[in-house]
Structure 1
Amino acid sequence: MKSADSVLGGATPAVAVVDGSGAVIGWTQAAEELTGYHAADIFGRSIGTLLPADGRAGAFFPRKGMMEVRRRDGQVVIVRADAAPLTLGDDGRQESWLLSAIPVTIDLSTDTGALLESLIGSFPIAMAIWDRNLRCVWFNEAAEQLRDGYPYYRIGRSLTEVIPGIDNEGVRDAVREVLADGRPMIDREAHWAYGTEERVLSISLLPLTGADGSPLGVCSVALDFSNSKARDHLDLLRQAGVRLGSTLDVMSTAQELAELAIPVLADFVTVDLPEAMLPGTEPLRRLATTEAGTPAFRRAGVASIHEGAPESLWDRGEAVYVPPRSPFMDVLHSRRPHFEPVLDTSPGTWLECDPGRARMIHATGMHSLIVVPLEARGDVLGVAAFARTSNPAPFSKDDLLIAEELVTRAALSLDNARQYTRERLTALALQRDLLPHHLCGGDAVEVASRYLPSDTHEGVGGDWYDVIRLPDARLALVVGDVTGHGINAAAAMGRLRTAVRALAYLDLPPDELLTHLDHLMTEDTLTPDAMGATCLYAVYDPQTGHCTMSTAGHPPPAIITPTGDVTFPPLPPGTPIGVGLGTFQSYDLHLPAGTLLALYTDGLIETRQADLDAGMTRLGDVLARATQESATLEHMCATVIDSMVGDAPAEDDIALLMARILGPWGPSELTDPTA
């Protein structure tokens, strides 16, 4: 068994013996020097006089670890305490304990200082420990090297001292704040003059707590980023936090990772992902094996300091072939990075089985390689490779750490994008399956439609449209929008569309149909997640040329007259479906032959920059031009969507249903599909 002296690195600990109630019955000279109490003054008194309150009544329970000891003069000393049982009574209860304590001192020969110094003393990271009085009680060698510029790195010196020429107010206040609330302060940039140079440091403050959870002090960590390479690496990681995953698209995120690392970290970067990460692509297992191996990935990201990325054997989206014995497969299976600062191209290496890469490496002068697994939430999502060609310096261990940190952040973004893509594709498939596949307006009305899902983070929504043929050759035109996005909204849309069809076959007027739909939704039988919806329902009678419509919180349709004028009828406003008020009214109008109707959802006219009124005005202008330029309704739908959305990603789902009136017709001229 090791002696206390050997365990504590040669320092003499303060030792006391206490009985089962915590009363002091033994005291050493080292304990007297530590606490200021003579043996005669402390014998018989509770050790609680010196230690923090335990909060437990009854027998004495010793504690171990970092804690405070109150000296006789009122000062507080931070110590590391230990305890060992000595004797047991006849009843089996502990009668006495041996307690030892050694201060977290100034002398780096103590166990705490030696341990810290052995772990981080050789790193260019300045570390120091400050007690609750803001006094420095320990620092490492890197901090000592900064002492000329920051003289507070001195044992016993307090951050409250005023030193001419040193502005220390910000650091002092920050340390006090960390002591007060116990929350760390991470990566705060600081500047100070150091000789003839200005130092740029990243400062972090970490609270130190005792065994009872009380604050003991603060550990400061200062990373010197004054040299350009360190600053570039720090900027790289900061940019990664902002740019990676901004689109929630797997391919875009992979390309962002590749471009971020150029040229700060590497001259050439690739990001290769398995087919499971890229749904909708051709299965790799169907592709034939070549001299380069088997198809294992698809290239999702590539960037180079050279135009056209001549180092890349495959373009984005293409299958990437790798031999079984290659760093890429090793990294994928072992989940450990491949670090080859000097790329070995001699015979017998892995490149012998990969002639294509070998030729490329010789042709481009590639000489240093890092391959890192893209791992998130327990899954390996692919591999990222970093290489140097023009930069003559081989990769260092620091470069490997930066590459791993960068890839870790990217992997989380890729995993988020993967999950979002899967849900979006599922919702989109459900949405398209629930929408009508074939629209028919009969003899009296020509119809056409378009559906455009949003490109924003919310995913597929609950927009829908429908054309329902009714008795007496009448025709119902419907467009609606369920609030929310994703699978739930798409499923709710399907239930609402089915309900509208069922109610339409009851031959209800538009206002009554919406009232019944509102009741069904309010009773929570259609949308269990209590989603709301808007809806426009119109019925056209080709025998009379009359159209009756009603709206439930939905924008009015656009009506283009045979002469090309565009109007929006003043429909009586109605509450959205699901409110339960049932305040719907019908509106009648006459539609002569040649009239066009455009029913749409608000995604077509509303953007973050323009409200509904501005969007309707713009839609009227677009429809007026499209009527003159487009020969068919199909072409007109495409023209309207392109003109309203343009190249910008759609902010919300868009449903557009257009109808051209071919009648009115007499009863004998019409075919009744329900007859």
Structure 2
Amino acid sequence: MEQLPTPPGERPARTTHVSPAAYTATATVSEQGIVTGWSEDARRLLGYAPAEVVGRPAADLLADRSAGPGGPGPGGPGGRGAATPPVGPGQERWSGTVPLRHRDGRRLDAGLLAHRRTAAGGAAEWFVVSAVAGAPDASWDGPLGEWAFDRSPCVMAVFDGDLRLVRANAGMHRTLSLTETEMRGLRLTEIAPDPVSEETERGMRRVLETGEPQSVDGFVRPPGGAAHGWATSLAPVPGPDGRVRAVYLSAQESPKGDAAPHRTLPPDLDAARIDVARTDVARTEAAHTGTAPDSARTAQELADAAVPRLADFAVVDLLEPSPRGEGPARSLGTGALTVSRSAVRSVLGASQESRFAVGESAVYPALSPPVECLSAGRGSVYGAADPAVVRWAAQDPGAGWISEHGTHSMMLVPLRDGGTTVGLALFSRHQGREPFDPEDLRLAEELAVRAATGIHRARRTVREHTSTMTLQRSLLPHTLPVQSALEIASRYLPAGGEAGVGGDWFDVIPLSGARVALVVGDVVGHGMRASATMGRLRTAVRTLADVDLPPDELLTHLDDLIIHLSADETGGETAGGIGTTCLYVVYDPVTRRCTAARAGHPPPAVVSPEGSAYLLDVPAGPPLGLGGLPFETVEVELPEGSLLALYTDGLLQARDHDIDQALDTMLAALVRPASTLDTVCDRVLTALLTHRPDDDVALLVARTRALHTDKVAVWDLPSDPSFVGQARRNATDQLTVWGLDEAAFVTELVVSELVTNAIRYGEPPVQLRLIHEGTTLICEVSDASGTAPHMRRARIFDEGGRGLLLVAQLTQRWGTRHTLFGKTIWAEQSLVEF
């Protein structure tokens, strides 16, 4: 077997002692057999870091390629990857023992449970879990376990203090089609991963925290089955000391099968139809309130709800939305219509009736029943012998299934949400059942309305998310500015899940005197509003940085801005961005001093050239928008080659880390030697983010450089106009040393003007400083006066007033920065043209 490579410069991992605490190793594998996700506990199990596994064939992890879960494709049965167990058509789960190969070469026989699910992008994938090492307490095999287990007359399971299953009765076996051995040591969300299980597990956690019994309207969704209504009770199991040791779960199907009590159905529908409708309610409502609204998933929910309870075969075809996303791309006439096949379900398992795979385009001929249905905007019932159906089958090769499989009755129902048509659902019967009747059509239309609402909502959510992402990306820096003070790398990851894109941002701003400002901020909230507020703040920071405000003063002005924005807006706890955090850091390569202030933001991390890592002790300060509270600045000297990391709190809020552990992990990743800062960024993200983050993540890593004395020249000047000529000579002599004689003419004019103004209008002491930074020459003149000069328009016969105008014309940029002891006038000229 081909072994995964050991990274250069690293020794093979040694076998380490495994904690007796139970844990679950999880991974995701694509239908093509490629590893797409790898948790920290998977690393504990097999020794591989996520970067070593993700993107590689899952077969490389097997000690025996003849075993392992997978689906059709290169990684599935008959593919180029692992030869997997026989997975039947439509099978959604696999379990068994698989021989795996540890990173150090030894073989591990692990029990795996694999679920086929739809990923966020709509593609199918396998979610693989394995309960590892010494999970249950042996006492569960004694009287306590028997006592808890015997309490329930129905579906019963006992979960320990970590919410891992330790006992399950026959009802649990029947419901989930898994033995106790296969489920033991796993959490409910790992046994049956779906939103219903997540809600039940939250209830169990409340039992552990409060010691009080809980009731929830749900339990699990059986694989491939309906989301029945469950009356579920969760109760504490106390130990001899009275402390809650476990939670027992008792679940019984609701006598009415009511998974949605608010749903009102026609009284004349029979029990089977009521169950179908309520199944759909549970499924579509789960899709609406889930973490990733998905139109393809909602379409499949509709097909799954209809087969086999209502129909033997169902397909859902969706129309392409218009560019604005509010409806189909064109008006629905009676001409040929192209649709996208989004869901298929058949009692035959392999969906043999459908001539088009999910994701492919299908074309309905003009005047065919599907086109007529969409044009009319209402559902219809057809028999196989109806002239319209016969004509359709003769025109369209894709309709050959009607005769091939003995279809005798079908329903066509448009998917409409208000005035928007999003697609079409087709249902048929061919298994010796009665033809569809008006009540069946009525029920199908109810199902279609719910599905259409979910699909339309999902498309609107995707469109809004795309717009927000586009806005945010336009506001974030596309490239980092050229400067010599710092070597910089950055990463930005948008949030996953239902929260959507947030307002995290970063910026790198060149300042006067070869200094650089690093900024990282986190706007409260998510969506378009947070991104717009982020854009305002980034613009404000750049404007305030341009006038060289100290970090604490800059944050004070930002605080005022947030307060004004809040006053201009109404509604919502995030009005105007109150609660936004920000970290502002300025680094000076001449003095190697770093000045920082923060407004409720995590402090920066520093790694010294010797390899020690720590968090810079910057006073926290309040979040922006509270008003009236001061911000404090800290100033430290950083040796050349120090590493500085700025980040947002999304980096530290991974699901499987607490904050202290996350900080330790981040510092450990920063300390490891790396050839480039991009490698450092990737290591930090890999170490901390084993799942897609629930919040935005911004990471800015910089390595300090220094401008040594051979690049800086300083002269203290007497406050006497006769020394202006000496200042010019000092400057031109220094340019000769630097080999910049061609820049002497402009430099003499700039030095002459700035020194003359400082002596004539300023206060002593006066100082001249030249800085040679790469392709830039910086001239600075400082004095003790706080009065800043400004350009004015000189009249024809005025003898003065043109000096600053000449400076502005001859240099790239110029400006004033105030200090504690006066001001500095500076001007930068490019050396590229010389």
TM-score (norm 1): 0.60
Structure 2 counterpart SS, 1:271: strand
Q: Does 1:592 align with 2:633?
A: no
Q: Which ranges in structure 2 are unaligned for 5 or more consecutive residues? A: 1-228, 232-253, 259-264, 570-574, 713-771, 778-812, 814-827, 829-834
Q: Which residue in the other structure is 2:577 paired with?
A: 531
**Within the alignment, does 1:312 sit opposite 2:354 as a pair?**
yes
Match of 2:321 among 261, 267, 276: 276
Give the aligned residue type for 1:257.
L
Quick check: 1:564–1:624 contact (8 Å CA) kept in 2? Answer: no
Deviation at 1:306, TM superposition (A): 4.6
Is the 1:236–1:261 Cα contact (8 Å) retained in structure 2? no
Deviation at 1:510, TM superposition (A): 0.8
* Mapping of residues 338-487 of structure 1, within 5 Å: 338-342=380-384, 348-358=390-400, 360-389=401-430, 392-440=433-481, 442-487=483-528
Provide Cα deviations, 1:586-640, integer angstroms capped at 9, x if missing partner.
1223333333222222222125776xxx235324414524663854333443443
- 2:399 is paired with a residue whose SS is helix
Letter in 1 for 2:689: V
Rate the CA distance shift 1:201–1:547 in 2: closer, same or farther, 3 A.
closer
Q: CA deviation at 1:491?
A: 1.1
Cα distance in 2, alignment partners of residues 516 and 368 from structure 1: 71
Is the 8 Å Cα contact of residues 342 and 394 (structure 1) preserved in structure 2? no
Preserved CA contact (<8 Å) 1:240 1:409: no
| Aligned-partner SS, 1:259 | helix
1:314/1:202 Cα in 2 relative to 1: closer, same or farther (>3 Å)?
A: closer
In 2, distance between residues paired with 1:619 and 1:367? 65
Change (3 A) 1:415 1:478: same
Q: Relative to 1, partners in 2 of residues 1:221 and 1:314: Cα closer, same or farther, differing over 3 Å?
A: closer
Match of 2:700 in 1: 657
Q: Tell me how far apart the structure 2 counterparts of residues 626 and 258 of structure 1 sit (CA, whole Å).
A: 50
Determine if the alignment matches structure 1 residue 645 to structure 2 residue 689. yes
Shift in Å at residue 380 of structure 1? 1.2
Paired with 1:423 and 1:639, the residues of 2 have a C-alpha distance of 32
Partner of 1:670: 773
Instruction: Find the aligned partners of 1:407 and 1:306 in 2 and give their Cα distance.
Output: 23
Q: Cα–Cα, structure 1 residues 201 and 492, in superposed 2: closer, same or farther, change >3 Å? A: closer
Correspondence for 1:169:
none
In the alignment, the residues of structure 1 paired with residue 621 and residue 357 of structure 2 have an alpha-carbon distance, to the nearest angstrom, of 54
3-state DSSP of counterpart to 2:538: helix
1:520–1:626 Cα change, 3 Å: closer
Deviates more, 1:307-316 or 1:465-474: 307-316
| 1:560-571 to 2 correspondences below 5 Å | 560-571=607-618
Cα 1:237/1:593, change in 2 over 3 Å: same
**Equivalent residue, structure 2, for 1:541:** 588
User: Alpha carbons of 1:596 and 1:393: their partners in 2 closer, same or farther (altered >3 Å)?
Assistant: farther
Find the counterpart in structure 1 of residue 376 from structure 2: 334
Decide whether aligned partners of structure 1 residues 628 and 429 sit closer, same or farther in structure 2, where only a CA change above 3 A counts: same
- Structure 1 distance, partners of 2:268, 2:389, is 43
Kindly state the Cα deviation for residue 553 of structure 1 after the two structures are TM-superposed.
Answer: 0.9
Q: Deviations over 1:555-598 (max 9, x none)?
A: 11222333444322222011111111242111223333333222
TM-score (norm 2): 0.49
Higher RCO (C-alpha under 8 Å, 6+ residues apart): 1
Q: 1:411 to 1:565 in 2, by over 3 A?
A: farther
Q: 1:223 to 1:587 in 2, by over 3 A?
A: farther
Cα distance change on mapping 1:347 and 1:607 into 2, 3 Å: closer
* Amino acid in the other structure paired with 1:376: D
Question: How far, CA to CA, are the matches of 2:256 and 2:504 in structure 1?
Answer: 53
Letter matched to residue 584 of structure 2: Y
| Equivalent in the alignment of 2:299 | 254
Larger radius of gyration: 1
Residue 618, structure 1, aligned to residue 721, structure 2: no
| CA distance in 2: counterparts of 1:364 and 1:663, whole angstroms | 79
Q: Are residues 362 and 379 of structure 1, via their aligned partners in 2, closer, same or farther at CA, if it must alter by over 3 Å? A: same
SS of the equivalent of 2:470 reads helix
- Note the aligned Cα RMSD (angstroms): 3.8
Contact 1:441 1:447 survives alignment (8 Å): no
1-structure distance, mates of 2:299, 2:670 = 40
Are 1:470 and 1:507, in contact at CA under 8 Å, matched by a contact in 2? yes
Secondary structure of 1:439's partner?
A: coil
> What is the match of residue 579 of structure 1?
626
Q: 1:308 to 1:619 in 2, by over 3 A?
A: farther
Instruction: Decide whether aligned partners of structure 1 residues 366 and 646 sit closer, same or farther in structure 2, where only a CA change above 3 A counts.
Output: farther
CA separation in 2, counterparts of 1:465 and 1:473?
A: 20
Counterpart residue number, 1:265: 310
**Matching of residues 212-251 of structure 1 within 5 Å:** 229-230=272-273, 232-240=275-283, 242-245=285-288, 246=290, 247-251=292-296
SS at match of 2:577: coil
CA distance in 1, matches of 2:366, 2:537: 53
In the alignment, is the contact (CA less than 8 A) between 2:257 and 2:275 conserved in 1? no
Cα distance in 2 for residues equivalent to 1:540 and 1:407 = 61
Q: CA deviation at 1:508?
A: 1.3
SS in 2 for 1:313: coil
Describe the SS at the equivalent of 1:523: helix
CA shift for structure 1 position 352: 1.8
| Contact 2:392–2:399 (Cα < 8 Å) also in 1 | no
> How far apart are the structure 2 equivalents of 1:549 and 1:189?
56
Distance in 2 between the 1:538 and 1:243 partners? 45
Q: Distance in 2 between matches of 1:624 and 1:438?
A: 28
1:259 is aligned with what amino acid?
Answer: D
Give the secondary-structure state (helix, strand or coil) at the position aligned to 1:384: strand
Q: Write the deviation string for residues 473-527 of structure 1: whole angstroms up to 9, x where unpaired.
A: 1111101111122212111111110000010011111111111111222233897
Contact 2:341 2:357 in 1 (8 A): yes
For residues 273 and 348 of structure 1, do their structure 2 counterparts lie closer, same or farther at Cα, with a shift above 3 Å needed?
Answer: closer
- Taking only the aligned residue pairs, the percentage that are identical comes to 41
Go from structure 1 to structure 2 and tell me whether the alpha carbon gap of 1:336 and 1:617 turns closer, same or farther (over 3 Å shift). Answer: same
| Residues 394 and 643 of structure 1, relative CA distance in 2, 3 Å threshold | farther
Which moved further from structure 2: 366-375 or 307-316? 307-316
Aligned residues: 452
**Distance in 2 (alpha carbons) for counterparts of 1:608 and 1:321:** 45
Query: 2:599 corresponds to which residue?
Result: 552
CA distance in structure 1 between the aligned counterparts of 2:337 and 2:687, rounded to whole angstroms? 42
The amino acid of 1:250's aligned partner reads S
Using the TM superposition, give the Cα deviation of residue 331 of structure 1 relative to its aligned residue in structure 2, in angstroms: 1.8
- The 1:237–1:256 alpha-carbon spacing in structure 2 relative to 1, beyond 3 Å, is closer
Contact 1:464 1:479 in 2 (8 A): yes
Matched residue SS, 2:601: coil
- Match of 2:425, as an amino acid? A
Q: Specify which of 273, 297, 301 is matched with residue 339 of structure 2.
A: 297
Task: Determine the structure 2 residue equivalent to 1:632.
Answer: 676
Letter in 2 for 1:412: T
CA distance in 1, matches of 2:542, 2:529: 20
What amino acid is aligned across from residue 474 of structure 1 in structure 2?
A: R
Cα gap change, 1:616/1:299 in structure 2, threshold over 3 Å: closer, same or farther?
farther
Alignment of structure 1 residues 104-123 onto 2, 5 Å? none
String of CA shifts for 1:627-658, please: whole Å, max 9, x gaps.
638543334434433443334x4322222222
Deviation string 1:111-154 (CA, Å, 9 cap, x unpaired) is xxxxxxxxxxxxxxxxxxxxxxxxxxxxxxxxxxxxxxxxxxxx
SS in 2 for 1:482: strand
Residue 124 of structure 1 corresponds to none
**Letter matched to residue 457 of structure 2:** N
Q: Secondary structure at the match of 2:498?
A: coil
Q: 1:238 to 1:658 in 2, by over 3 A?
A: same
What SS does the corresponding residue of 1:386 show, helix, strand or coil? strand
